[in-house]
Structure 1
């Protein structure tokens, strides 16, 4: 029996999970055609029922070859909802029709905002791809820690902005029972993250001599790290500045910048303000300690957290940059045409810097590993 078919022996294979996620298309079309989905409570109930039914189907199909990693179920269910999000984006932007209209009316109407559309697009493309990669890794018994950490940062950042933004923004009065369907996206990633963090890195077998050599290199012998430190200093300033903008900083420079370069921060949907505050309170401390991590050898936490924050910044900036120019954002809150290039260059560099930091840590991790050779020698001296 082929291992990549949707059977009891093959569902853990990525092809089976991929086919299961595609059932979102007929299911959404069928539910949308039902006349009883005009009540918000019914919409929420249908959402819960569909997710529970999928979970039961997963347990049934994997009886012959159950996955060793319980995160298989999380990624499989989330891949289904990623397809739902992609359908929402395609329908709301006019590419298809007749699939999720009921949900947008009585479920989560705030998804029609620019921010809502772009997080649906991100979830339906980037997150969906990451789920398939991780499901494939689980099926083959491969390590997926780096991909998992990137996904974790991206999803948690999305939820940290989306959930409070729904409540305190101008759509706060339209929060309906379907809002509870977002709860698993907050708690399950935390559980998944705890498991992913406990996994071993694939580069833990680097020779001790290489680690010792990397530790002996000063900062001036590492031009890439110098460039990253300069980026971090600029990113710290930019993150703090935009946090002050979200707090209605009264200075002339703040007033000029927010009106001439990033008026989207003033949008009453509240997502951009929440985003800037999340960046200031959660991203800013990491930017600061990362400088220490690049100057001090043996900071192993850089290997994990740089990837988490790279995913977080990528998702946050995609939603922020996109919403600042998206047609669903009111014209007065979009980036002025004359400031378009300055806005894009500044924000793209801000985004890429974190990706390069994570890439540097993952691709050349020796500097951040503990020098076991030196530790053993110090232990012998003490004895």
Structure 2
């Protein structure tokens, strides 16, 4: 499933970046999304192949990632670092007013952000729960969940456990950071980290959902027929949440902009 993602989603991202380069446009947004996706892919794929002792595939993935990263860096240098956005111009008085109005609203007056906060708290709990399952928690609830909902988490292959641990140790801290960014105004780093995490979660959930249902996964580790609806609802919702958060931060960034009084111009 990771290879399917490489050959489809990553390939499409490369085409978009090549088109942006050809048109002398910035590709920073899609580039950050790709960074998150490729990092999550490597974090799971490389340790999984080490455990599974498939050295040839591991070497191919490492070489592929290094080459792609070098090409991105070289192209950025050749084009005068057009991977970065154009430095922002001084804010007009009208723009500063819009920013101040957005940042003056508390969380209760921002219903979409409030919904995101609630969903982030639920996603944090979901990550911790599945991480405990990957760590062989003896709880009865964990046992029932793996038996009736996601038996793939107990697959002898290393990938599902590594994926759950990646969620637990990387996504949970991100969710806590994102909660802070949604409550405290002026966190200008929010758009970038949400893009990176959204790319990573898109790749990870595509691979996890696909592997859980794939015909080549042993029957006893596939999602039971009667649990598929709930399984898909939970996992699709978990994958969509970072995309919604990234969309909110990129297209409605006023709450996250640091507007200094000295930057105002008439």
**Does TM, scored on the shorter chain, surpass 0.5?**
yes
2:85 maps to 200
Deviation at 1:125, TM superposition (A): 1.2
**What's 1:147 paired with?**
30
Contact 1:262 1:335 in 2 (8 A): yes
> In the alignment, does 2:133 pair up with 1:245?
yes
1:235 lines up with 2:115 in the alignment: no
What TM-score does the superposition give when structure 1 sets the normalisation length? 0.63
Q: Deviations over 1:26-85 (max 9, x none)?
A: xxxxxxxxxxxxxxxxxxxxxxxxxxxxxxxxxxxxxxxxxxxxxxxxxxxxxxxxxxxx
SS at match of 1:183: helix
**Alpha carbons of 1:247 and 1:310: their partners in 2 closer, same or farther (altered >3 Å)?**
same
Deviation at 1:204, TM superposition (A): 6.7
Match of residue 132, structure 1, among 6, 9, 15: 15
What is the TM-score normalised by the length of structure 2? 0.89
Residue 208 (structure 1) shift: 2.1
Asked if structure 1 preserves the Cα contact closer than 8 Å seen for 2:127 and 2:164, the reply is yes
The answer as to 2:55 corresponding to 1:175 is yes
Structure 1 runs (4+) greater than 4 angstroms displaced: 188-198, 201-206
Is the Cα contact below 8 Å between 2:26 and 2:82 reproduced in 1?
Answer: no
CA offset digits 1:264-310 (Å, max 9, x no partner): 01111110000000111111100011100000001011110001000
Tell me the distance in 1 between the aligned counterparts of 2:44 and 2:195. Answer: 19
Whether the aligned pair in 2 keeps the contact of 1:153 and 1:311 (CA below 8 Å) is yes
Q: What runs of 5+ residues in structure 2 fail to find an aligned partner?
A: none
- Among 292, 304, 312, which residue is 2:180 paired with? 292
Distance 1:345 1:147 in 2: 27
Do the aligned residues in 2 keep the contact of 1:149 with 1:193 (CA within 8 Å)? no
* Count of residue correspondences: 255
Relative contact order: is structure 1 or structure 2 higher (C-alpha 8 Å, sep ≥ 6)?
Answer: 2
* Corresponding residue number in structure 2 for 1:269: 157
- Distance in 1 (CA, whole Å) between partners of 2:173 and 2:131 is 13
Is it true that 1:322 corresponds to 2:210 in the alignment? Answer: yes
Change (3 A) 1:350 1:193: farther
* Root-mean-square deviation (Å): 2.3
Greater C-alpha Rg: 1
Q: Could you say which residue in structure 1 is the equivalent of 2:48?
A: 165
In 1, are the aligned partners of 2:2 and 2:41 still within 8 Å (CA)?
yes
CA separation of 1:352/1:262 partners in 2, compared to 1, >3 Å: closer, same or farther? Answer: same
Selected match of 1:184 from 63, 66, 69? 63
- Deviation of the 1:209 alpha carbon: 2.2
